Amino acid sequence: MKKSRWRPKLIVKNLITQFDWLDENKEIPFCKLCNTKITGGVFHLNRHTKREMHQKLYISSKRTPQIKNFLAANNSMEYMLKRAELKMACYEKTTQLIKEVLAPFFQKQILEDLKTTNFTLIVDETTDIATQKSLIIVVKYFKEGKIIERVLDLIRVKEGTANALFITIKNLLLESAIPFNNIVSFAADNANTMMGEKMGFRQSSRK
């Protein structure tokens, strides 16, 4: 009598709906939760299902959120509102983290470097769409064999005059105990406020 051939792929495919914990990529019945193969037929699969460890793993797997559920298309208004709220919360949290933690930490390191290091001062004044003026301060110096270029600060200013900008930077250096003589060079755009021979920022810094 000719024995029937074992066709494991066909069997696993047929049983996957009844035993959803079977690994469909295996050629033999294999529990992907317990990471073990199961020898035998339906009886042995049912017996494996009743094992205490398997049941615990199965319950745990059902409680774990599936990534595909988060990626599923959903155009409902409720879903879109929740997504917008989540994005806004992430944005606000990230902004506070940068402003209140990261920025002060790195700025303190830069200021400590400038106390004992010669550096180049690079400045620029800008006006945003709300017509508020700001002064951006960049420093460039040499440290541990490398050229370091960092944004030191972005300061709101009431006026964009050369004298107002000069006083803003002077106060920052004084408050941080950075010697003014450590500035060995200065860079800015060619605007009269910055490079004017009589009333420019460069001229004020020379006095």
The secondary structure of residue 22, as a DSSP letter, is B
Between vectors from CA 13 to CA 11 and to CA 16, what angle results, nearest 5°? 105
- Taking the CA atoms of 80, 81, 82 and 86 in sequence, report the sign of the dihedral they define: positive
Model pLDDT, residue 203: 64
Instruction: List, in sequence order, every residue forming a beta bridge with 140; answer none if it has no partner.
Output: 120, 149
Distance CA 48, CA 194 (A): 80
* SS3 state of residue 132: coil
- For residues 61 and 33, the answer to whether their CB atoms sit within 8 Å is yes
Helices assigned H by DSSP within 16-158:
42-49, 52-63, 67-71, 77-97, 103-114
Q: How many CB atoms lie within 10 A of CB 3?
A: 5
- For residues 148 and 85, the answer to whether their CB atoms sit within 8 Å is no
Model pLDDT, residue 6: 45
Beta strands in the chain (DSSP E): 30-31, 36-37, 119-127, 133-143, 146-157, 183-187
- For residues 186 and 119, the answer to whether their CB atoms sit within 8 Å is no
- Residue spans of the chain under pLDDT 50: 1, 3-7, 9-10
Model pLDDT, residue 82: 72
- 172-187 per-position pLDDT tens digit: 989 999 998 999 988 8
Distance CA 124, CA 146 (A): 24
Distance CA 115, CA 119 (A): 10
Tokens representing 30 are 């294999």
Model pLDDT, residue 4: 44
